[in-house]
Amino acid sequence: MNARCEKILQLLLSAKQAITSEEISLALQVSSKTVRNDLKDLQPLLLENHIKLTSIRGKGYELLPSDKEKVTLLLEQQALKASPIEPENRVYFLMEKLLLQTTYTKLEDMADELFISRSSLQGDLRQVREILSDYNLALKQKPNYGIKVIGDEMQIRFCIAEWLYQQDSSVLRGAVDLDILPEKDLQTIKNSILTNLRKNQILISDISLQNLITHVAIAVRRLGENQAIGTGLDYAHLKNEKEYIVARKIVDDIEDTLQITFPVNEVAYLAMHLLGTRLVSPNEKVDRHVCSMDPAISELVEKMVERIDNQYGFQLKEDMELRLALALHLKPAINRYHYQMNIRNPLLDEIKLNYPLSFEAALIGSEVLNEIQSIKLVEDEVAYLALHLEVAQERRKQEARNKQRCLIVCASGMGSAQLLTYKLKDLFHEEIVIAGTTEMHNLKHYALDEIDFIITTIPLLWDPGIPVIQVSTILGKADIFEVKGMMKRNNQVIRNYFLEPFTYFRKEFTKTETILRFLCNDLERLGLVDSNYLDSVLQREAYASTSFGNLVAIPHPLEPQTDRTFWSVMTLVKPIEWGDKPVQLIFLLNASKDRQHELKPMFEEIGNLLEDQHLIRRLVAARNFNEFKRLMGIG
């Protein structure tokens, strides 16, 4: 199975409804004919694994719900036995080989193993060196011996965790199937961690649990190869933390069972991970934590919220739940930054796609942290802050009511669980009330006597004895469509923002900066912006790419600068690389400096567009303003 066929199966696996070959071709940037040929080639393999791919006339292709677990296992099996033929697969193979061994490896042996020439191998190793450099690691080459990875041991472990294991899908099924240690050793590590976390009432998400297991497993593997954390680790300040005591107990259990000795630096290393992953239960009282909030963190949060309110008019200053949530997230986030423990946010793309305004607001708020503590958060952390801001906005829309009681099971942490809570309340406030949230590994310990049903973002591995509904982590359009129908677009809002003089069709630009320069120069030529406008748009782009997925980019200046709010819209003949995503439809947001309240509905409308792949495909193909208006529903 080639990489494109794997991506097709992944798209079918994640789809909530039938998807057409055109939609698949749009996502993969290939022709519909290529997709149909790939689907034909996949059929024998699917039949061999008792998987049925259904073709529905006029709707597209879909998998049977009962076959989705089979497809997941098939993809994992293919990944294990696949020969790394394509360059990206070879790079992953080389990363794994070099990171998981401490001795030198000869270049000719690697070339023979991959069935490639020495020159092709050197090209792949250039990419390996670029990846390693992000962790301040390097490849050391020794004549007649070969090459090996060198650098700080902590950075080697972070690289192993991020590159080889942090994208593992087994967390979504509650499995522990890392190949770095025997299964029984992994189970020992998991049991020790869970037992001590529960005993000491430390709450972490399922994803954080999997990451913690991964890091401990890597530590055991590396210690077995005499690769310990260096003595330069400063851990004196950790010894009084609860997490250090818990880390010591976890290590004691593992030492007794696996007959391995952890140096004291390794205990501190584990404590650092606990400090970077701990959550607070949403059922705990807000006042209790507000009173004990770190004054420096409290001041930081206050300034962040103030800046967000000033920029976007959210009016969140008095929201103590938001301030607490931000404070509780920022403390471990700052720890992660200081210990260089960047985390992957599995919801990053979905958050940017579904909540672009909250992401922008979080980005503005994070600049306060950079100014005060010289800490620049990565996009993954900013997206978690965006979840808390979206929760706060949802909270303003509703009040809790006594209805049917449901429990939410979510793998990706309290921010996403709370956001799902408020989304569900907003949509189904007449029918349900959310009784609480939990992680799958704690579900068996949750009293379900007064729970009417469960809403989960991951498949449950057992029958809880009450009805279960599975939804996506980000309650997107497909989930909402199932229970409430298609969201209606606000045509008047779109009509106000969409103006013919600032709409450009089927341009042949190939560079992001060229497009932005064209759009901004046109506005400056008409006297609508000053000469600094382009610089502001480019500076915003430098913070984080404004490509949000589904071929759409939403560039904008750092601060509103125009006298009225409107869009500059451009379509391209062919998609271009914009940040890390292909883009063919651009909305430059020109926001009024005196009417900040218009930002939210503008972002909401673009958010609706981002979810509608059918509409985006038709908009990209439009050749004039009237056709574009008609497709947008304002013709």
Question: Which pLDDT belongs to residue 291?
Answer: 43
Class of CATH domain 163-275:
mainly alpha
* Single-letter code of the amino acid located at 516: L
| Cross-sheet strand order for the sheet of 432-438 | 432-438, 404-409, 453-456, 468-470
DSSP tally for the chain: helices H, then strands E:
27, 13
Q: What is the dihedral of CA 178, 86, 155, 374, to 10 degrees?
A: -120
CATH number, span 286-395:
1.10.1790.10
Which residues of the chain carry a pLDDT beneath 70? 1, 78-85, 165-178, 231-235, 276-293, 340-343, 396-404, 412-415, 430, 467, 478, 480-494, 596-598, 601, 633-635
Question: Which pLDDT belongs to residue 481?
Answer: 61
Sketch the domain layout of the chain as residue ranges.
Answer: 3-81, 87-151, 163-275, 286-395, 404-484, 491-632
* Single-letter code of the amino acid located at 134: D
Same fold, 163-275 and 286-395: yes
Q: Please count the other Cβ atoms lying within 10 Å of the Cβ belonging to residue 164.
A: 19
Question: Which pLDDT belongs to residue 50?
Answer: 87
- Alpha carbons 525 and 134: distance in angstroms, whole number: 42
pLDDT in tens, 536-561: 999 999 888 898 888 899 999 988 88
pLDDT in tens, 489-515: 445 556 778 889 999 999 999 999 999
Contact 303, 368 (CB under 8 A): yes
Question: Which pLDDT belongs to residue 532?
Answer: 92
- What letter would DSSP give residue 562? B
Class of CATH domain 491-632:
alpha beta
Question: Which pLDDT belongs to residue 396?
Answer: 66
Interhelix angle 414-427/320-338, rounded to 10 degrees, is 150
Structure tokens at 613: 């792949």
- State the architecture of 87-151 in CATH terms: Orthogonal Bundle (1.10)
Residue 335 has φ and ψ, to the nearest 5°, of: -60, -45
- State the architecture of 3-81 in CATH terms: Orthogonal Bundle (1.10)
CATH number, span 404-484:
3.40.50.2300
pLDDT in tens, 91-135: 888 998 899 888 999 998 888 888 888 898 999 999 999 999 988
- Alpha carbons 344 and 163: distance in angstroms, whole number: 10
Q: 131-151 burial, b for 16+ CB within 10 Å, e for fewer?
A: bbeebebebeeeeeebbbbeb
pTM of the model: 0.59
